[in-house]
Amino acid sequence: MTTVLVTGGSGVLGRAIVPVLRGSGADVRVLSRRADGSPGECRGDLLTGDGLAQALSGVSTVIHAASQPSHPAADVTMTRTLLDAARAAGVGHLVYVSIVGCDQVRALPYYRAKTQAEALVAAGGVPFTVIRATQFHEFVAFLLSRAARWPLLPLPALPMQPVEVGAAAQQVAGVALGAPLGRAPDVVGPAVLTLPELARTWSAATGRPLRTLPLPVGQLFTPLIRPELPGVGRSWADWLAQQSTRPNAYAL
Protein backbone atom coordinates (compact mmCIF):
# COMPACT_ATOMS: atom_id res chain seq x y z
CA MET A 1 0.00 0.00 0.00
CA THR A 2 1.27 3.47 -0.90
CA THR A 3 1.69 5.78 2.09
CA VAL A 4 1.20 9.43 1.17
CA LEU A 5 1.86 12.46 3.35
CA VAL A 6 -0.18 15.53 2.35
CA THR A 7 0.97 18.95 3.49
CA GLY A 8 -1.76 21.57 3.44
CA GLY A 9 -4.26 18.77 3.87
CA SER A 10 -6.65 21.06 5.74
CA GLY A 11 -6.55 23.68 2.96
CA VAL A 12 -8.94 24.01 0.03
CA LEU A 13 -6.99 21.78 -2.35
CA GLY A 14 -5.74 19.42 0.35
CA ARG A 15 -9.26 18.73 1.62
CA ALA A 16 -10.19 17.64 -1.91
CA ILE A 17 -7.04 15.55 -2.48
CA VAL A 18 -7.22 13.46 0.70
CA PRO A 19 -10.51 11.62 -0.05
CA VAL A 20 -9.40 10.95 -3.63
CA LEU A 21 -6.23 9.27 -2.35
CA ARG A 22 -8.11 7.26 0.25
CA GLY A 23 -10.63 6.21 -2.35
CA SER A 24 -7.73 4.85 -4.40
CA GLY A 25 -6.60 2.69 -1.49
CA ALA A 26 -3.66 4.80 -0.32
CA ASP A 27 -2.70 5.16 3.33
CA VAL A 28 -2.92 8.94 3.83
CA ARG A 29 -1.33 11.09 6.50
CA VAL A 30 -2.22 14.77 6.82
CA LEU A 31 0.50 17.01 8.22
CA SER A 32 -0.60 19.62 10.73
CA ARG A 33 1.15 21.90 13.19
CA ARG A 34 -1.77 21.38 15.55
CA ALA A 35 -2.64 17.72 15.13
CA ASP A 36 -5.49 16.90 17.51
CA GLY A 37 -5.41 13.14 17.29
CA SER A 38 -7.87 12.89 14.39
CA PRO A 39 -7.42 9.72 12.32
CA GLY A 40 -4.66 10.16 9.76
CA GLU A 41 -3.31 13.41 11.21
CA CYS A 42 0.31 13.77 12.23
CA ARG A 43 2.14 16.70 13.76
CA GLY A 44 4.89 18.55 11.97
CA ASP A 45 6.05 22.11 11.39
CA LEU A 46 7.23 22.98 7.88
CA LEU A 47 8.93 26.17 9.00
CA THR A 48 11.07 24.68 11.77
CA GLY A 49 11.17 21.02 10.72
CA ASP A 50 9.91 19.94 14.12
CA GLY A 51 8.15 16.57 13.88
CA LEU A 52 8.84 16.02 10.18
CA ALA A 53 11.13 13.02 10.65
CA GLN A 54 8.39 11.16 12.52
CA ALA A 55 5.68 12.26 10.07
CA LEU A 56 7.75 11.03 7.10
CA SER A 57 8.70 7.68 8.59
CA GLY A 58 7.53 4.98 6.17
CA VAL A 59 6.16 7.52 3.68
CA SER A 60 6.75 6.77 0.01
CA THR A 61 5.12 9.87 -1.52
CA VAL A 62 4.63 13.46 -0.38
CA ILE A 63 2.14 15.92 -1.87
CA HIS A 64 3.26 19.40 -0.95
CA ALA A 65 0.13 21.53 -1.15
CA ALA A 66 0.79 23.76 1.87
CA SER A 67 1.11 27.44 1.02
CA GLN A 68 1.03 30.89 2.60
CA PRO A 69 0.09 33.43 -0.11
CA SER A 70 0.20 36.30 2.38
CA HIS A 71 3.80 35.38 3.35
CA PRO A 72 5.49 34.27 0.11
CA ALA A 73 8.93 33.83 1.67
CA ALA A 74 7.44 31.17 3.95
CA ASP A 75 6.60 29.05 0.90
CA VAL A 76 10.27 28.87 -0.01
CA THR A 77 11.32 28.09 3.57
CA MET A 78 8.67 25.39 3.97
CA THR A 79 9.67 23.74 0.71
CA ARG A 80 13.37 23.72 1.61
CA THR A 81 12.66 22.30 5.07
CA LEU A 82 10.38 19.60 3.67
CA LEU A 83 12.90 18.62 1.01
CA ASP A 84 15.66 18.21 3.58
CA ALA A 85 13.47 15.98 5.72
CA ALA A 86 12.11 14.00 2.75
CA ARG A 87 15.61 13.35 1.43
CA ALA A 88 16.75 12.13 4.85
CA ALA A 89 13.69 9.88 5.12
CA GLY A 90 14.26 8.31 1.70
CA VAL A 91 10.96 9.52 0.22
CA GLY A 92 10.61 8.21 -3.33
CA HIS A 93 8.35 10.87 -4.84
CA LEU A 94 7.59 14.47 -3.92
CA VAL A 95 4.74 16.23 -5.75
CA TYR A 96 4.82 20.01 -5.66
CA VAL A 97 1.63 21.89 -6.53
CA SER A 98 2.31 25.18 -8.30
CA ILE A 99 0.56 27.78 -10.46
CA VAL A 100 0.33 28.03 -14.25
CA GLY A 101 2.48 30.89 -15.49
CA CYS A 102 4.18 31.59 -12.16
CA ASP A 103 7.60 31.89 -13.80
CA GLN A 104 6.31 34.61 -16.14
CA VAL A 105 4.69 36.85 -13.52
CA ARG A 106 7.65 38.51 -11.86
CA ALA A 107 5.64 41.41 -10.43
CA LEU A 108 3.85 39.25 -7.85
CA PRO A 109 5.94 38.10 -4.84
CA TYR A 110 3.81 34.99 -4.37
CA TYR A 111 4.40 33.88 -7.96
CA ARG A 112 8.13 34.53 -7.60
CA ALA A 113 8.13 32.37 -4.47
CA LYS A 114 6.37 29.57 -6.33
CA THR A 115 9.01 29.72 -9.05
CA GLN A 116 11.79 29.60 -6.43
CA ALA A 117 10.14 26.64 -4.73
CA GLU A 118 9.89 24.80 -8.05
CA ALA A 119 13.63 25.27 -8.55
CA LEU A 120 14.34 23.95 -5.05
CA VAL A 121 12.24 20.86 -5.72
CA ALA A 122 14.03 20.21 -9.02
CA ALA A 123 17.43 20.40 -7.31
CA GLY A 124 16.39 18.88 -3.98
CA GLY A 125 17.66 15.33 -4.43
CA VAL A 126 14.21 13.73 -4.13
CA PRO A 127 12.47 12.25 -7.22
CA PHE A 128 9.79 14.81 -8.00
CA THR A 129 6.86 16.00 -10.02
CA VAL A 130 5.86 19.65 -10.35
CA ILE A 131 2.24 20.06 -11.35
CA ARG A 132 0.83 23.51 -12.06
CA ALA A 133 -2.83 24.46 -11.98
CA THR A 134 -4.75 27.56 -12.95
CA GLN A 135 -6.82 29.50 -10.41
CA PHE A 136 -9.69 27.57 -8.88
CA HIS A 137 -13.36 28.35 -9.53
CA GLU A 138 -13.75 28.54 -5.76
CA PHE A 139 -11.05 31.20 -5.46
CA VAL A 140 -12.45 33.34 -8.27
CA ALA A 141 -15.92 33.19 -6.72
CA PHE A 142 -14.52 34.12 -3.32
CA LEU A 143 -12.73 37.18 -4.73
CA LEU A 144 -15.83 38.30 -6.62
CA SER A 145 -17.98 37.94 -3.51
CA ARG A 146 -15.63 40.32 -1.71
CA ALA A 147 -15.47 42.69 -4.68
CA ALA A 148 -19.27 42.93 -4.76
CA ARG A 149 -19.03 45.25 -1.77
CA TRP A 150 -17.52 47.96 -3.99
CA PRO A 151 -19.84 50.33 -5.89
CA LEU A 152 -17.73 50.05 -9.06
CA LEU A 153 -15.02 47.51 -9.77
CA PRO A 154 -12.39 48.20 -12.47
CA LEU A 155 -11.47 44.87 -14.05
CA PRO A 156 -8.77 44.36 -16.67
CA ALA A 157 -9.70 42.05 -19.53
CA LEU A 158 -7.32 39.49 -18.06
CA PRO A 159 -7.81 36.05 -19.62
CA MET A 160 -8.19 33.23 -17.11
CA GLN A 161 -8.85 29.50 -17.40
CA PRO A 162 -10.16 28.56 -13.95
CA VAL A 163 -10.62 24.96 -12.87
CA GLU A 164 -12.72 23.49 -10.09
CA VAL A 165 -10.84 22.24 -7.07
CA GLY A 166 -12.26 18.72 -7.24
CA ALA A 167 -11.06 18.22 -10.80
CA ALA A 168 -7.59 19.57 -9.94
CA ALA A 169 -7.45 17.25 -6.92
CA GLN A 170 -8.11 14.24 -9.16
CA GLN A 171 -5.20 15.22 -11.38
CA VAL A 172 -2.80 15.83 -8.49
CA ALA A 173 -3.72 12.55 -6.80
CA GLY A 174 -3.30 10.65 -10.05
CA VAL A 175 0.19 12.08 -10.52
CA ALA A 176 1.12 11.29 -6.91
CA LEU A 177 0.15 7.64 -7.26
CA GLY A 178 2.36 7.24 -10.33
CA ALA A 179 6.08 7.50 -11.01
CA PRO A 180 7.90 10.85 -10.74
CA LEU A 181 7.56 12.88 -13.96
CA GLY A 182 9.68 15.97 -13.33
CA ARG A 183 6.99 18.19 -14.87
CA ALA A 184 3.43 16.99 -15.23
CA PRO A 185 1.02 18.52 -17.74
CA ASP A 186 -0.58 21.70 -16.43
CA VAL A 187 -4.10 21.44 -15.03
CA VAL A 188 -6.53 23.91 -16.57
CA GLY A 189 -10.26 24.49 -16.80
CA PRO A 190 -12.35 23.92 -19.92
CA ALA A 191 -12.59 27.52 -21.15
CA VAL A 192 -10.71 30.82 -21.29
CA LEU A 193 -12.74 33.76 -19.99
CA THR A 194 -11.80 37.32 -19.15
CA LEU A 195 -12.27 38.69 -15.65
CA PRO A 196 -15.25 40.84 -16.73
CA GLU A 197 -16.87 37.76 -18.29
CA LEU A 198 -16.31 35.74 -15.13
CA ALA A 199 -17.79 38.59 -13.08
CA ARG A 200 -20.92 38.89 -15.24
CA THR A 201 -21.59 35.16 -15.05
CA TRP A 202 -21.07 35.15 -11.29
CA SER A 203 -23.42 38.10 -10.83
CA ALA A 204 -26.16 36.42 -12.89
CA ALA A 205 -25.80 33.11 -11.04
CA THR A 206 -25.79 34.59 -7.55
CA GLY A 207 -28.23 37.44 -8.09
CA ARG A 208 -25.75 39.82 -6.52
CA PRO A 209 -25.22 43.04 -8.47
CA LEU A 210 -21.65 43.73 -9.51
CA ARG A 211 -20.90 46.89 -11.45
CA THR A 212 -17.66 46.51 -13.39
CA LEU A 213 -15.53 48.82 -15.48
CA PRO A 214 -13.69 46.70 -18.07
CA LEU A 215 -10.10 47.75 -18.77
CA PRO A 216 -8.53 46.63 -22.07
CA VAL A 217 -4.98 46.33 -20.75
CA GLY A 218 -5.44 42.74 -19.59
CA GLN A 219 -5.79 41.49 -23.16
CA LEU A 220 -2.01 41.65 -23.53
CA PHE A 221 -1.40 39.48 -20.47
CA THR A 222 -1.74 35.76 -21.19
CA PRO A 223 0.74 33.60 -19.20
CA LEU A 224 -1.94 32.39 -16.77
CA ILE A 225 -3.71 30.29 -19.41
CA ARG A 226 -2.95 27.22 -21.52
CA PRO A 227 -5.76 27.15 -24.11
CA GLU A 228 -3.99 24.47 -26.14
CA LEU A 229 -4.45 21.94 -23.32
CA PRO A 230 -7.61 19.89 -22.74
CA GLY A 231 -9.46 21.33 -19.77
CA VAL A 232 -10.83 19.26 -16.91
CA GLY A 233 -13.89 19.60 -14.69
CA ARG A 234 -17.04 21.65 -15.06
CA SER A 235 -17.21 24.95 -16.84
CA TRP A 236 -17.41 28.14 -14.80
CA ALA A 237 -21.12 28.55 -15.61
CA ASP A 238 -21.99 24.92 -14.83
CA TRP A 239 -20.04 25.04 -11.57
CA LEU A 240 -21.79 28.26 -10.53
CA ALA A 241 -25.21 26.78 -11.32
CA GLN A 242 -24.59 24.09 -8.71
CA GLN A 243 -22.29 25.81 -6.21
CA SER A 244 -23.11 29.53 -6.12
CA THR A 245 -25.50 29.22 -3.16
CA ARG A 246 -23.25 26.92 -1.10
CA PRO A 247 -20.57 28.05 1.36
CA ASN A 248 -17.33 28.91 -0.38
CA ALA A 249 -14.37 26.74 0.58
CA TYR A 250 -12.13 29.81 0.95
CA ALA A 251 -14.49 31.35 3.50
CA LEU A 252 -14.52 28.28 5.78
pLDDT in tens, 91-124: 999 999 999 999 998 888 999 999 999 999 999 9
CA-to-CA distance for 5 and 44, rounded, in angstroms?
A: 11
Predicted pLDDT at 33: 83
What SS3 state is found at 4? strand
Q: What is the pLDDT of residues 172-226, one digit of tens each?
A: 999 999 999 999 999 999 999 999 999 999 999 999 888 888 887 655 566 889 9
**Residue 252: exposed, middle, or buried by beta-carbon count in 10 A (0-12, 13-18, 19+)?**
exposed
Its pTM stands at: 0.94
Bridge partners (DSSP) listed for residue 160: 193
Whether residue 240 contacts residue 201, with contact meaning beta carbons closer than 8 Å, is answered with yes
Within 8 A by CB and 6+ apart from 15, the residues are 9, 249
Bridge partners (DSSP) listed for residue 51: none
pLDDT bin (cut points 50, 70, 90) of residue 36 is low
Within 8 A by CB and 6+ apart from 52, the residues are 31, 44, 45, 46, 81, 82, 85
Q: What is the pLDDT of residues 46-85, one digit of tens each?
A: 999 999 999 999 999 999 999 999 999 999 999 999 999 9
Domains of the chain, first to last: 3-251 (3.40.50.720)
